[in-house]
Amino acid sequence: MANPLTPDVLVDPVVLTRALVDIESVSRNEKAIADCVEEVLRKAPYLSVGRLGNTVMARTDLGREQRVVLAGHLDTVPINNNFPSTVVDDLIYGCGTSDMKSGAALALHLAATLPDPGYDITYLFYEAEEIESRYNGLALVAEAHPEWLRAEFAVLLEPTYGVVEAGCQGTLRALVRTHGRRAHTARAWRGVNAIHAAGEVLRRLQDYRPRTVTIDGCTYREGLNAVRIAGGVAGNVVPDECVVEVNMRFAPDRTEEQAFEHVREVFEGFELERTDSAPGALPGLTAAPAREFLAAVGSEPAAKLGWTDVARFAALGIPALNYGPGDPLLAHGPDEHVEIGKIRDGAATLHRWLAAPSF
C-alpha cells in the first residue's frame, strides 16, 4: 500500500485527520497506521525516531532549555458502521475522528512542518489506549524507554473540544464487608443479619459530603459512591455476609495512600479491602511551558475529573494536560465526528505556542 500520508496531506491537519481515520486501527491492529506514521517521521531530517511495538516516538534535539511532549494514541474503539470517514458540511464523521485521530493529526502535522520549535519536542504516537492497561503503549514506553518521556511538560491531544483540561482525579475501589451469623428466618433471633448491618455503611455514604478542591485555578469535585452491593444466602436464611463496593474519586492533592486512609476513616469499624486504585495528577500549570501554552490557548483551564493517561506523566513527575479538537461526548459513539473549525483552531494554537519567537 502506498503511504497515504503524503507531503500534501501533512501540511493540512484537516486533510490529515481524514487520512488517519481512513487507516483502520482498532486496538491491537495498529501496525499499518504505525508503519505509515513512522515512515513520515523518518523522512524529517530534524527528528530522531524510535519504535516500540506499534508505538512511534520522534524527537527534536535542538538543545532547547525545555522539552515538551505531544502525545496521542493511534488506536480506536471497534468500528460501528462509521468507516471510512465522510464529510457533511464542516463536520468529519467516522470512527476515531474525535477520539483521537484529529488530535494525533495535529501532532503529526506539527512534527512534519515545524523544524525549528521554541522548545524541544517529543512526539509520541502510541498504541492500545482503548483497551486493558497492560497493552497501553504509553505504559510500555514508561517501562522500556522512560527516557522517551522525559520532559518539562506534556500535552495529550485527547478530545476536550478545545478546552484545556488539567490534571486528573484519582480513583480507588474498595470492598466494605459486614459479617453476621446464619440462621433459619423462622428462628431469626438465633442469627445476626449482615445485610442489616450494612445499613450503617450506606448511612455513612449518604451522609458523606465530598470535598471540592481548587488547584492552579482548576476545581476538582471528589466523590464517594457505592457502586455495587451483594448479600444473601437463600430466601429463608438470615445472611452472614454483605459486601458493598465503593468507588472514591479523589482530587490530585491526595496520594492513593492518603485517599485510602480517608476511606478507611469513613468506614471505621468495618472490614475494608482495597481492590484497585490509580493516582490522580496535579494540573501542574505553573511550569513555564504550561503558562506559555495557556497564554496561547487564551482560555481558562478546567479540571479533568475522569482518569486519563496524563496520570502516567504525573507519575514520572511531568505536568501534563489534555487538549484536543474532538468532542469527548461523541467519543465511542456511532455518530462520532469532529468539527473542522476545531481542528484548524487547535493547529493555530499549537503553532502559536511552539513556533513563537518570544522564547
Give the residues lining the site for a copy of itself (CB under 8 A).
Answer: 169, 171, 173, 184-189, 193, 195-199, 201-203, 205-206, 210, 221, 223, 225-239, 242, 244-245, 247, 249, 305-307
129 catalytic residue (yes or no): yes
Please pick, among 30, 38, 99, 129, the residue that the annotation labels catalytic: 129
The distance of closest approach from Cβ of residue 308 to a copy of itself in the complex, given in angstroms and rounded to an integer, is 10
CB of 99 to a copy of itself, least distance (A): 16
Report in angstroms the alpha-carbon separations of 257 from 37, 276, 292: 40, 12, 33
Nearer to a copy of itself by Cβ, of 99 and 127: the residue is 99
Question: How far is residue 260's CA from residue 266's CA, in Å, rounded to a whole number?
Answer: 10
Which of these is catalytic: 30, 38, 75, 130?
75
Nearer to a copy of itself, 272 or 356 (CB): 272
Other CB atoms within 10 A of residue 312 CB? 23
C-alpha to C-alpha distance for 218 and 177, rounded to whole angstroms = 35
Q: Minimum CB separation from a copy of itself for residue 91, in Å?
A: 25
Residue 195 per-residue DSSP state: H
User: Is the CB of 270 or the CB of 293 nearer to a copy of itself?
Assistant: 270
Q: How far is the CB of 318 from a copy of itself (least distance, A)?
A: 22
Residue 203 burial (CB count, 10 A):
10
| Residue owning grid cell 464487608 | 177
* Spatial separation of the C-alpha atoms in residues 242 and 176, rounded to whole Å: 8
Whether 75 is a known active-site residue: answer yes
Contact predicate 244/227, CB 8 Å: no
- Please give the angle made by the CA atoms of 337, 138 and 10, to the nearest 5 degrees: 50
Distance CA(191)–CA(179), nearest Å, equals 11
By C-beta, is 88 or 186 nearer to a copy of itself?
186
Nearer to a copy of itself, 84 or 199 (CB): 199
Pair 284, 166: CB distance under 8 Å = yes
Taking the complex as a whole, the smallest distance from the CB of residue 43 to a copy of itself amounts, in Å, to 41
Q: Any idea which residues carry the catalytic annotation?
A: 75, 129
